Amino acid sequence: MNDEAAPALFKGASHTFDEAMKSLGAGKPLSFSLEGSVALHESAKFAESESPNIAGVLRGSDPQLKDQYVIFSAHVDHVGIGDPVNGDAIYNGAVDNASGTAALLEIARAFAENSERPKRSVLFLAVAGEEEGLLGSDFYARHPTVPVFQIAANINMDGISLFYDFRDIVALGSDHNSMIHQVQDVAKHMHLEVSPDPMPEENFFIRSDQYSFVKQGVPALTISEGFKTVDPSLDGRKISIAWEQTRYHQPSDDMNQPLDFAAARKCTQVLLAVGYEVSQSAERPAWNPGDVFEQRFGRH
């Protein structure tokens, strides 16, 4: 309700609408009964639209493993045109998720240009509709272009590192499946630490496209920088939270913001290396015994 209609609800109450709003602004909200009531009606118009997923595959070289697929994925959509902020109505999505899409293309190029093909096949998947509820990845995971039981793993990229050079990585999902071994090996070779999720309250692992694959029983990862910075004068946690508060899903997530492309390259190298090791490993990725996702979504 707007400020013109709301005061009518407060007639006869122990506090006025203005007093209630002031109490909110002071951080001490009042609690009291209202004498008035309101009936609300809302209508909406729906229109059907389509946006395609795009997939490409690099066939594996091993006779026994080439029918298994490691999927690299990233979503290509953002939130489009919305309410203007400082006169700008275009929500660009430079970090979320043009960066992940760029990493997907570079990883695909690197795999394709390598003279030695990986043992497992690698599938590169650009999905639509992530911002509308993981629609593109959910559709693909339920109607894949290869049999779902042949999908060995998913590595998803939803915003790669662009804020600062980092000393540690966070591999969400690695505490649920065996790919922690590849993550740790890559981190060791790149002189990085592996840190636990620094913001578990965000529950990010089930909020992006990797979860669509998890629900179909596929072990998955999403890897990003941790809060430990190479430059000790920088506070990774502070930088990340400030970006989320000021630029996440805002028009200012554009190419004019400060971006560290060396960090983006480093993060892409981590993702590529983990995926390469998974594609080469003799052991297929598996859920940890008794894991909650294995119990709920595992193939029994």
Cβ of 298: how many Cβ atoms within 10 Å?
Answer: 15
| Residue 3: per-residue pLDDT | 84
Helices 261-280 and 100-113 sit at what angle, rounded to 10 degrees?
50
| Residue 299: per-residue pLDDT | 74
- 113's tokens: 């240009």
Main-chain phi, psi angles of 267, to 5 degrees: -65, -40
Instruction: HSE, CB side, 13 Å, CA atoms: give it for residue 174.
Output: 24
For the chain, percent helix, then strand, then coil, each to nearest 5?
35, 20, 45
Q: How far is CA 190 from the centre of its chain?
A: 23
Cβ of 182: how many Cβ atoms within 10 Å?
Answer: 24
| Residue 300: per-residue pLDDT | 58
Q: pLDDT per residue over 164-175, tens digit each?
A: 999 999 999 999
Over residues 84-111, mean pLDDT: 97
Residue 139 predicted with pLDDT over 80: yes
In the chain, where the domains are located: 1-42, 54-297
- DSSP strand pairing (54-58 vs 121-127): antiparallel
| Residue 129: per-residue pLDDT | 96
Model confidence band, residue 43 (pLDDT cutoffs 50, 70, 90)? very high
C-beta of residue 29 within 8 angstroms of C-beta of residue 114: no
CATH of domain 54-297: 3.40.630.10
Lowest model confidence (mean pLDDT) among 7-16, 137-146, 153-162, 227-236: 7-16
| Residue 123: per-residue pLDDT | 98
- DSSP strand pairing (168-172 vs 54-58): unpaired
Q: What is the mean pLDDT of the chain?
A: 96
Model confidence band, residue 196 (pLDDT cutoffs 50, 70, 90)? very high
| Residue 130: per-residue pLDDT | 97
Residue 274 predicted with pLDDT over 70: yes
The proportion of the chain whose per-residue pLDDT surpasses 70, expressed as a percent, equals: 100
Over residues 247-268, mean pLDDT: 97
Q: How far apart are CA 285 and CA 65, in angstroms?
A: 12
| Residue 37: per-residue pLDDT | 83
| Residue 38: per-residue pLDDT | 83
Helices 261-280 and 180-189 sit at what angle, rounded to 10 degrees?
130
Model confidence band, residue 224 (pLDDT cutoffs 50, 70, 90)? very high
| Residue 57: per-residue pLDDT | 98
Q: How far apart are CA 158 and CA 99, in angstroms?
A: 8
Residue 285 predicted with pLDDT over 80: yes
